[in-house]
Amino acid sequence: MLPLVVKLGGSLYDSVPALAPLLHLSVRHLLIVPGGGPFADAVRMAGIDDETGHWEAIAAMDQYGHYIASYGLPVTEHLAIPMQTTILLPSASMRKHDPLPHSWDVTSDTIAAWIAAELHLDLVLLKSIEGIVTKGILQDQVTSALDTDAVDPLFIPYVLEKRVNTFIFNGSRRDYLGRFLKGDPVPGTRISTTF
């Protein structure tokens, strides 16, 4: 079974102590991409220009990654398929490749999608929402771009173009994560055609 890229959203900062043991025990190897969490919020509030903000927000992802690692998970700066569940600190790879626009339209969601595309792996976004909701209905599957604030504006077009099979679900539900890692179904939104 191929490893999986898992983006651990910054909104789950307070859930990390409960989620980290599940991630650590996953039979399937995970490459965990941290969101920005409160570290990126501080960058947003600083009111700096897009160019500086882009790199500062990516540095914030590294900081959140170190926080997650404090619960017993190893870290790496090397963009590679993991041999064990590992947290990727993305700033070194992002500076080396610089693949995305320098804008607040690009968040850790699209950065995680780029990482998954580079490694030819599927992607899971763990967020504090159930998935993508339109007109009050949780979408089981999304196969074309749509307007949503669940992810950044570049994310859906990017994963569809790069054919990154993606699943979004509520990571604040520890039971959902446990079920998902065992291969059991959980509510959420798939993006692309298969997973």
DSSP assignment of 43-92 equals HHHTT--HHHHHHHHHHHHHHHHHHHHTTT--EE-S-S--SS-EEE-THH
Yes or no: say if 131 and 150 are a contact pair by the CB < 8 Å rule. Answer: yes
Domain that holds residue 39: 4-127+173-187
CATH of the domain at 84: 3.40.1160.10
* pLDDT tens digit at each of 195 positions of the chain: 899 999 999 999 999 999 999 999 999 999 999 998 777 777 777 778 878 888 888 899 999 999 999 999 999 999 999 999 999 999 999 899 988 988 878 889 999 999 999 999 999 999 999 999 999 999 999 999 999 999 999 999 999 999 999 999 999 999 999 999 999 999 999 998 654
Within a domain: residue 136? no
Q: pTM for this structure?
A: 0.92
User: 145 in a domain, yes or no?
Assistant: no
Total domains in the chain come to 1
CB 8 within 8 A of CB 32: yes
- What pLDDT, in 10s, does the model give residues 130-186? 999 999 999 999 999 999 999 999 999 999 999 999 999 999 999 999 999 999 999
Which pair of tokens denotes residue 109? 């969601």
